[in-house]
Structure 1
Amino acid sequence: MLLGRILLVPSILLLALSIYWGMVQEHMDIRLILPACLLVVALFVFQHKINDYSLRRWPPKLDEDEEHWMRSYVHFYNNLSDFRKKEFGQNLGRVCAQTDFIAKGMESVPQEIKMIVIAPMIYMRLHENLQISENFRRVALYLHPFMTPEQNYIHISEIHDEDGLLIFSLAELQISYKDPLRYFNSAFYEWSRIFFGINQQLKPTNISDEFIWHFVTGHTNIEKERLEAYMGQPEIDTSSLLLYTCTYFQENIPADVAAWHARVQKFFFV
């Protein structure tokens, strides 16, 4: 359990006892109630800061099953040294603990699903960017493709920058990790969009969208119309699409694309 929540629970109990004691005595002692009330308010306001401090001070580690799962399903994790794997796992566990996962149509979100969503964020080192790590603290997961008021059509993923919210369809997300060469990874794609949103200078401005689609189709056998239909989006961000393809399909990459990918990877967890 997070430290902020651990401290908040007894503080609320202390406040409740102070009020109860005042009711029993038929006299509310402000000297008891006010400090308890201020403590609860302070802990509620600063609980994220307290949690962040405790998780950085005592970072969680991947257990044996989680480590095996990462090695089996997270492509870029296997390219890391053992030391970097340990560091990656600690950051992954910390951010998973800090993130509020909202289950839509299920009782709770399993730990491996949380890892699926957050792993690309760690790989792109977005957890080190305060603007991103402080803002994007909520993830909603539907069992199947969904519609929202903002995007009133069926799709598999969505970002709300102003609310710090990412939304995913669980079915498509799971299968993309089990068979990454056949199914598009929506979590990697959406975190890529966030990455290029704060790193506009890294977009492949010297590579045309037409060439990117030709490159993607040749490497993945996924055509533009098919991918748009699969994702349920009228437009696909080509910078994020190119990064995805270079990450998962690393053979026969043209020199100019390889040079761009190498420049982007300097910012990543490698």
Structure 2
Amino acid sequence: MSRTVYVNGQYLPEGDAKVSIFDRAFLMADGVYEVTSVLDGKLIDFDGHLARLERSLSELDIQKPDCFDDLLEIHRELVRVNGITDGMVYLQVTRGAAEDRDFVFPDPEEVKPTVVLFTQSKPGLADSPASKKGIKVISIEDIRWGRRDIKTVQLLYPSMGKMMAKKAGADDAWMIEDGHVTEGTSNNAYIVKGDTIITRQLSNDILHGITRAAVLRFAREAQMKVEERHFTIDEAKDADEAFVTSASTFVMPVVQVDEAVLGDGTPGPVSKRLREIYLEESRKAAI
């Protein structure tokens, strides 16, 4: 059965959805996106995703779409009509379709943002087999642009990084800059040493993860020690345990970094406990 998607004010069968070939996301990667998880038919951390979307649009001088204040209802309607119990809602806003290809931004009075949303069904999202055994990551050079705090659709290098990991027999990659871990290809990265959770501090260098913010808040509420600072790839290889966070994986244990097996090679107690807390608290607050 075809999904129902949303394109510029219309709910359509996915096969009928169309966007102009002159849309600047297609030509220039000139757009931003968000992915909101769905558990038990409800949206997780929606307000955080909406706030980050607004910030991303502002940073790139893209107009807020006319439907911005209706995005919650649009998300809910797509979840309803597509029968999503566990899964995700993908939202993309672009600068829009100009009359022709040009590096210069079109006049905002002459072009409207393009808005696209679709759902992805992921049964058993919270009970991922990977979360029980942990994942392996490799390290790769971080050669992305400098504004990684804006959630743009420029995802070619992260995609290439995931392919590098796959070819190496791993599950994902951590990106390295000046010897320090920035983040994963689609997630924030953490190590645990002793009783301390360590993750890179917020800046333009990394995405300001919505799941990251929630997990760190829950960790502090649980009296866990958190240190936000740069950490090296060598520190990661010598860590007691590690994990990543994202909207689609929640808290995912990492059991190997490059050739270094962490701990006994199974998910550690901190990452397992944080995953439990995150899922429990997020379900309570879901809308």
When Rg is computed on C-alpha atoms for both structures, the one with the higher figure is 1
Normalised by the size of structure 1, how large is the TM-score? Answer: 0.29
Normalised by the size of structure 2, how large is the TM-score? Answer: 0.28
Question: Which has the larger helix fraction?
Answer: 1
Give the structure, 1 or 2, with the largest relative contact order (CA under 8 Å, sep 6 or more): 2
